[in-house]
Structure 1
Amino acid sequence: MKNTKDIRTLFFLLIIIAVRILLWWIEPSYYLFWLPFIIISVFILYSIKHNHLHYSVFNSKVLNRFYENILGVFTGTSMSGAYVIHLVNHHKENNKSNDWGNTNQFTHKSEAINIIRYACITPIKFLKSKRKWLQNTVNKKRVVVRETESRVIICTYILMLIFKFEATILYIILPHFLGQLVLVSFNYFQHAGCDPFSKYNHSRNFTGKLINFLNFNNGYHTVHHHFPSAHWSEYEKMHLLIQHKIDVDLNEHNFIYYFIRLLFSRNGKILKQKTPESLQNLIV
Structure 2
Amino acid sequence: MPSATLTRNRWDWIPVMLGVLHFAAVLWLFVAFPALAWWQVGLCGLAYAVAVSWNINSISHNFIHNPYFRQRWLNACFSFMLSATVGFSQAMYDFVHMRHHSGNMDRPDDGGRTIDYLSIYKHGRGGRAENVWHYTFLSYFRDDPAEILRAMGPRRAGLALQAKLEMAGVAAFYLVLLVLDWRFVVCMLPFNYLGQCLSSLNGYYEHFGGDPDRPIAWGVSTYGRLYNWTWLNNGYHAEHHYRPKAHWTRMPELRRALAEEQRRAGTRVIWPPHALGFLDRSLSPRRLPPFPPQKEIL
SS of equivalent to 1:205:
coil
Where do 5+ consecutive residues of structure 1 fail to align?
A: 271-284
Within 2, Cα distance between the matches of 1:146 and 1:258?
32
Alpha-carbon deviations, 1:151-201, whole Å to 9, x = none?
Answer: 111000100100011112323x33332211111221110111221111322
CA distance change for structure 1 residues 132 and 192 in 2, over 3 Å: closer, same or farther?
farther
Note the alpha carbon deviations across 1:108-132, whole angstroms, 9 max, x for none: 9x99x81111123333334265244
Q: Quick check: 1:77 aligned with 2:93?
A: no
RMSD of aligned Cα (Å): 2.6
2:182 aligned to which of 151, 158, 165: 165
Do the aligned partners of 2:270 and 2:280 also contact (CA within 8 Å) in 1? no
Q: What is the aligned counterpart of 1:194 among 191, 210, 222?
A: 210
Displacement of 1:17 in angstroms is 2.5
Indicate the percent of aligned positions where both proteins have the same amino acid: 19
Q: From 34, 52, 58, give the equivalent of 1:42.
A: 52
Task: Give the equivalent residue in structure 2 for 1:94.
Answer: 104
Once the two structures are superposed, residues 60-114 of structure 1 have per-residue CA deviations (whole angstroms, 9 ceiling, x without a partner) of 1111111000000001111221122111x11111011222222234359x99x81
Does residue 64 (structure 1) correspond to residue 83 (structure 2)? The answer is no
Q: How many residues align?
A: 265
Length-normalised TM-score, structure 1:
0.84
Picking from 275, 278, 281, the partner of 1:259 is: 278
Equivalent-residue separation in structure 1 for 2:238 and 2:21 (angstroms): 30
- Of the candidates 138, 141, 144, which is equivalent to residue 124 of structure 1? 141
1:120 and 1:196 map into 2 onto residues whose CA distance is 23
Report the alpha carbon displacement of residue 266 of structure 1 after superposing the two structures with TM. 4.3
For 1:178, the aligned partner's letter is L
Amino acid at match of 2:19: L
* Misfit runs of 4+, over 4 Å: none
In the aligned structure 2, how far is the partner of 1:268 from the partner of 1:80? 38
CA 1:185 to 1:151, structure 2 compared with 1: closer, same or farther past 3 Å? same
Q: Secondary structure at the match of 1:140?
A: helix
